[in-house]
Structure 1
Amino acid sequence: MRKVIIAINMSIDGCVGHMSLPGPDEEVGGYFNDLMQQDVDLIAYGRKMYEIMFPYWADEANWADESDTEFGQRLIAFDKVVFSRTLANAEYNTRVVSTDPVEELLKLKHQPGKNIYVGTVSMLPQLARAGVIDEYHLVVHPVIVGQGTRLVEDGALAERLSLKLVESKVFKSGCVALKYVKS
């Protein structure tokens, strides 16, 4: 069975807004490239994150280095699902799904293929409550932002979610990659 993996950049205080975090350096970018290359063949987004990611990564002018180029090429090539009730269609190998993300991801988990990468935090509480997420890859950047969207907003989870740390990696930049599984 495929695993559902969520991988997110965040600040020390749990903020996940792309505009409030420094862009990942080549080493952190390489971490995400490796994760996607080895283990993933489908990416799931919410509408807002999809619209942030595309067309930005589809434009080669935004690829600043080898890591960006590798990431952009992979991102465009992957099959993608975007969950939205308002988006009519999408580009770049993307299928729009307007049904329940939990039900759809549970179906996809049972289909053949590699793992499924969830690249959005908007669905995290819903997917976590339903037990859909198998692995949490959190890259913590050494900044305190103080405001903005959090990994999980107050009250979004009815009960505590216990996880087990199975891997960690410290980068030269001070970022720390943490891999958790359900305990």
Structure 2
Amino acid sequence: MRTVTFTMNISLDGYCDHTMATPSEELMNYFTATMDDVDLLFYGRVMYQMMYPYWTDVARDQSGSEAENKFAERLCAIDRVVVSTTLDAEDAKTRIIRSNPAEELLKLKQQPGKKISVDSVSLLPELIKAGLIDEFYFVIHPVIAGHGRPLFPSGSLNELLSLRLLSTRTFENGCVAHHYLKP
């Protein structure tokens, strides 16, 4: 069975907002490395629209830093599934599903392949409740956002989820990456 990972940038006060910090070269290299064993991305509509076409353009035009270009190339090479009731597939690497994300992810998890990376805050509680997330990568940025989308809205999880810390890495820009495993 394939491993399903969840990766997210968060502020010290638990908000997920891509505008809160600018990643360093070192951090971009870390994110690229987390995708080494990934062959499928599983997105919600909001995250998908935030990532594409931005990173597609960077990969095509080589318009970022060296680390950003490598990240963009790796990201854009991976097939993706997007959960959306409004989007249509934009390219051959993207498949849209309309409903039952947990059921669809379970089917994908049972197929042969490498890791599946989930990148959707909105789908996270449902996928955790279904027992589908195996590993978590949280990158904590040294900022207090004070507002934004929380990682978990109050009441979105009904029970405690205990995790086992596998590794911690501190970056020069003050970010700290934690890699956790669901026991």
Q: Shorter chain as normaliser: what TM range? A: over 0.9
Aligned to 1:50: 48
Quote the Cα distance in structure 2 between the aligned partners of 1:90 and 1:146.
35
Quote the Cα distance in structure 1 between the aligned partners of 2:25 and 2:14.
22
Deviations 1:119-174 (A, max 9, x none): 12111111111110000000001111011101111111111111111111111111
Offset of 1:97 from its aligned partner? Answer: 0.8
Quote the Cα distance in structure 1 between the aligned partners of 2:62 and 2:115.
27
The answer to whether residue 121 in structure 2 is matched with residue 116 in structure 1 is: no
Quote the Cα distance in structure 1 between the aligned partners of 2:141 and 2:106.
31
Asked if structure 2 preserves the Cα contact closer than 8 Å seen for 1:90 and 1:96, the reply is no
Aligned length: 181
Aligned to 1:36: 35
Quote the Cα distance in structure 2 between the aligned partners of 1:127 and 1:57.
26
Quote the Cα distance in structure 2 between the aligned partners of 1:159 and 1:62.
45
State percent identity of aligned pairs: 48
The aligned runs of 1:3-14 (5 Å cut-off) are 3-14=3-14
Q: TM-score, normalised by structure 1?
A: 0.94
Offset of 1:71 from its aligned partner? Answer: 1.0
Runs of at least 4 residues off by over 6 Å: none
Runs of 5+ unmatched residues, structure 1: none
Quote the Cα distance in structure 2 between the aligned partners of 1:116 and 1:52.
19
The aligned runs of 1:56-95 (5 Å cut-off) are 56-60=54-58, 61=61, 63-91=63-91, 93-95=93-95
- Shift in alpha-carbon separation, 1:66–1:153, aligned structure 2, 3 A: same
- Shift in alpha-carbon separation, 1:12–1:62, aligned structure 2, 3 A: farther
Q: Which residue identity is paired with 1:44?
A: F
